[in-house]
């Protein structure tokens, strides 16, 4: 879309939405007016999540602006969360970015199906760990200073429908559009046709929020279309299917949508989708899997797939269950051992992230561009 070549502040999409939510909530008498100018300025310009979210509502931190308490456990939890977010970005997202950039730069007539699938899967993991990593770092920084921000991701690739996906992905943005656009338009209260219209409008605006490009418009309309189709009856049909079928459907739609999100032009996106469907035009002689797949990438893919599921929290829960079965002396030894192991693991992640940062090139967070 043709737009003037303006230089806009980093993170304008995020802090503008925060300011808008405050003004709208005051207008609706949902929150009292904050009469102290420095406190409202602190809310809008709160630095941990200023650049790339999560989008924080005023009512969620109003009391914390004046009465927050910094505690040692909170500081420790904030540091832990920050390091894990940094590791997601530096050790997973940045490594995945290398094959993604190369694959999406392949000319359309030379794409092969296997390479296209590798590129899309890598990009799906890259954008998840890039964005959720930043959210983890923002939540961790806020925790260090006594703020408690709401979670922004809940294992989105475990979704069984696209509706479920948007309850798990970029939760602060989807809830913002729900409360300030979808519901004011009428939501689902004025019949099915208006409900479908409202869904399409919301996700068209969501696409434009990410950028004034036809690919973002297509990405938004793609999600809006599938949400409308699910409302039309697909969700009920899927509910009667096996969970593996539901997950396969959701993942297929999500991966296809990321093609629009990543490609620079619609023609490139159609070529990539055609390659994914088996209609690739490349011979595989010049661009083949061997150019992109190595031990490092396979390891990162394996770690990324595991980390995008609740497997690690499940293991932590099992450890807590085992701890409860121990005697008092055994629990103390167990606690010391697990604490030392966690500190050692965090130090390894932190130092490895710093090493990658020092050795690698500048690779900013993907959502810095929005």
Question: CA-to-CA distance for 313 and 341, rounded, in angstroms?
Answer: 16
Conformation bin of residue 33: beta by default, left when phi > 0, alpha when psi is -120 to 50: beta
Q: Which two tokens stand for residue 228?
A: 């409308």
Contact (Cβ atoms closer than 8 angstroms) between residue 340 and residue 107: no
DSSP 331-364: HHHHHHHHHHHHHHHHHHHHHHHHHHHHHS----
Q: What secondary structure letter does DSSP report for 47?
A: G
Question: CA-to-CA distance for 58 and 44, rounded, in angstroms?
Answer: 9
HSE-up of residue 47 (Cα within 13 Å, Cβ side):
3
* List 7, 36, 210, 223, catalytic entry: 210
Question: CA-to-CA distance for 268 and 120, rounded, in angstroms?
Answer: 13
- At 234 the three-state DSSP class reads helix
| Known catalytic residue at 170 | no
- Write phi, then psi, for 139 (nearest 5 degrees): -65, -40
Q: Which two tokens stand for residue 350?
A: 């932190």
Residues belonging to the active site: 210
């Amino acid at each position: 879309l043709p737009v003037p070549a303006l230089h806009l502040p980093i993170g304008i999409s995020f802090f503008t939405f925060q300011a808008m939510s405050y003004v709208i909530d005051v207008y609706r008498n949902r929150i009292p007016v904050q009469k102290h100018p420095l406190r409202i300025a602190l809310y809008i310009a709160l630095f941990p999540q200023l650049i790339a979210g999560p989008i924080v509502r005023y009512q969620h931190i109003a009391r914390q602006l004046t009465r927050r308490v910094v505690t040692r456990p909170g500081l420790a939890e904030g540091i832990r969360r920050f390091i894990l977010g940094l590791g997601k970005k530096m050790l997973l997202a940045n490594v995945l970015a290398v094959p993604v950039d190369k694959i999406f730069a392949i000319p359309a007539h030379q794409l092969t199906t296997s390479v296209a699938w590798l590129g899309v899967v890598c990009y799906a993991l890259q954008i998840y760990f890039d964005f959720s990593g930043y959210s983890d770092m923002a939540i961790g920084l806020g925790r260090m200073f006594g703020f408690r921000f709401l979670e922004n991701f809940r294992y989105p690739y475990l979704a069984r429908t696209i509706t479920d996906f948007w309850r798990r992905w970029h939760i602060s943005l989807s809830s913002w559009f729900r409360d300030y656009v979808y519901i004011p338009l009428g939501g689902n209260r004025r019949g099915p046709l208006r409900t479908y219209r409202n869904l399409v409008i919301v996700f068209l605006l969501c696409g434009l929020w990410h950028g004034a490009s036809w690919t973002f418009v297509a990405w938004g309309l793609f999600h809006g279309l599938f949400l409308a189709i699910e409302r039309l009856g697909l969700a009920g049909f899927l509910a009667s299917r096996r969970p593996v079928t539901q997950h396969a459907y959701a993942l297929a739609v999500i991966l296809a949508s990321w093609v629009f999100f990543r490609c620079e032009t619609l023609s490139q996106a159609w070529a990539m989708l055609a390659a994914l469907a088996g209609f690739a035009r490349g011979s595989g002689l010049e661009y083949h899997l061997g150019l992109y797949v190595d031990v490092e990438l396979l390891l990162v893919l394996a770690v990324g797939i595991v980390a995008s599921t609740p497997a690690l929290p499940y293991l932590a829960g099992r450890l807590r269950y085992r701890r409860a079965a121990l005697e008092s002396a055994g629990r103390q030894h167990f606690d010391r051992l697990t604490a030392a192991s966690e500190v050692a693991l965090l130090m390894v992640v932190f130092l490895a992230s710093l090493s990658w940062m020092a050795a690698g090139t500048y690779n900013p967070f993907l959502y810095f561009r929005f």
